[in-house]
């Protein structure tokens, strides 16, 4: 029993240490950005890559930003030629893998902007994982796909050229 308690204590200390290193030994956020929108638009999308360098899956359960009322985890899905967005409760990043949120697919939906965003602004965001880890990220406001971003344009499956006669 005593050794069990010792193990348990060691385990808990280990967990506490994990929590303390929330800067992210396991989780890495890469290239977070927000797609710029006209000033009257209060809903924008944020994109980023979440990298899991650890041996266990990491599950993103919540995202928030002080600059917005709400942040949701969304996925764009094509139904015929209409794009619908589905809200996800969580997003799992498998061990030693990464999940990329980019235009046309997964994104973070930021609703209720507290002030207009300008290109170059930084949007602070907090990503909370099932493990309790919180990762801070600063997403930079960038123009959308229409300017620059050549690589992404080619991946735009907008379906404009799928006419069949």
Binding site for Cu ion (CB under 5 A): 74, 85, 109
At 97, list the tokens: 């893998």
Q: How far is the CB of 131 from Cu ion (least distance, A)?
A: 25
> In the numeric block, which tokens belong to residue 153?
């344009």
Quote the least distance from Cβ 16 to Cu ion, whole Å: 36
Q: How far is the CB of 75 from Cu ion (least distance, A)?
A: 8
| Smallest separation, CB 112 to Cu ion (Å) | 13
Nearer to Cu ion by C-beta: 68 or 133? 68
Structure tokens belonging to residue 85: 């967005």
Return the number of the residue (79 or 165) whose C-beta is nearest Cu ion.
Answer: 79
Task: Give 33 or 133: the residue with its C-beta nearer to Cu ion.
Answer: 33
Which of 52, 73, 69, 76 has its CA nearest to residue 61?
Answer: 73
Between 8 and 85, CB nearer to Cu ion: 85
DSSP characters over 11-55: HHHHHHHHHHTTTTSSEEEEEEEEE---TT--EEEEEEEEEE-SS
| Residue with smallest beta-carbon separation from Cu ion | 74
Q: Return d(Cα 78, Cα 153) in angstroms, integer.
A: 17
Q: How far apart (Å, rounded) are the C-alpha atoms in residues 9 and 61?
A: 27
């Amino acid at each position: 029993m005593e050794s069990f308690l010792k193990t348990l204590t060691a385990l808990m200390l280990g967990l506490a240490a994990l929590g303390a290193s929330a800067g992210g030994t396991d989780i890495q956020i890469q290239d977070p950005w927000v797609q710029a929108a006209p000033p009257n638009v209060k809903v924008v999308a944020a994109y980023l890559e979440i990298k899991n360098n650890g041996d266990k899956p990491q599950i993103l359960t919540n995202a928030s930003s002080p600059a917005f009322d709400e942040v949701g985890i969304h996925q764009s899905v094509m139904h015929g030629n209409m794009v619908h967005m589905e809200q996800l409760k969580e997003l799992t990043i498998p061990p030693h893998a990464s999940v990329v949120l980019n235009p046309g697919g997964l994104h973070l939906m930021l609703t209720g902007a507290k002030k207009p965003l300008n290109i170059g602004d930084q949007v602070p965001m907090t990503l909370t994982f099932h493990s309790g880890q919180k990762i801070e990220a600063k997403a930079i406001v960038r123009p959308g796909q229409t300017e620059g971003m050549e690589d992404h344009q080619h991946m735009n499956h907008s379906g404009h050229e799928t006419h069949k006669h």
